[in-house]
Structure 1
Amino acid sequence: MSKKNIIPVVKAEEEAEEEMVDPQTHLREVCSQKPDAQNHWAKYQECNDRVHSRSQTAETCEEELIDYLHVLDKCVTKDLFKRLK
């Protein structure tokens, strides 16, 4: 008797699955276009450009990045839980 007959082969059924979209990703894109988020992003970019233009600096743009992410997350949380299943 061969081993092929002893071990059953199970194949998953291929269904037309709907592409799952993360609502947080979509909301982050939408919120990043709002004026408040754009303003904080511009401040972060300005800081980032300033830091990268210097060869030695102790300055980081951590505060600007955190401020931007805070504004973005605040905007996202307003609608995120309404969209979760």
Structure 2
Amino acid sequence: MSDQEAAELVDPAVAIKEKCSQTKECAALLEKFNACNDRVASKSATTETCVEEQTDFLHCVDHCLAPQLFKHLK
């Protein structure tokens, strides 16, 4: 593979993830995650983390991404 070919390679997962994160289901989970982050950031001392919200959002995106991504593999 030449340098030019390597430079032209584009990871299809990036665009698909972006589209998936904007679906109704995933966007709602992203909103919950962002609200959690804002809530945690507004407190000076808290034991709350947003791991559950982040995991839910990433799971949604991965679930949407997987069937679409495998179409691009050779």
TM-score, reference length from structure 1: 0.78
> In 1, distance between residues paired with 2:65 and 2:25?
13
Q: 1:82 — aligned with what?
A: 71
* Larger Rg over CA atoms: 1
Report the CA distance between 1:23 and its aligned residue: 1.3
Dislocated runs of 4+, deviation >3 Å: none
The alignment of Structure 1 onto Structure 2 pairs a total of residues equal to 72
| Cross-structure match for 2:31 | 42
Deviation at 1:24, TM superposition (A): 1.1
The residue correspondences of 1:1-85 to structure 2 (distance < 5 A) are: 16-17=4-5, 19-85=8-74
Identity over the aligned pairs, expressed in percent? 46
Structure 1 unaligned regions, length at least 5: 1-13
TM-score using structure 2 length = 0.89
Work out whether residues 23 and 84 of structure 1, in 8 Å CA contact, stay in contact via their aligned partners in 2.
no
| Higher relative helix content | 2
Structure 2 runs not aligned, ≥5 long: none
RMSD: 1.5
Which structure's relative contact order is higher, taking Cα pairs within 8 Å and 6+ residues apart? 2
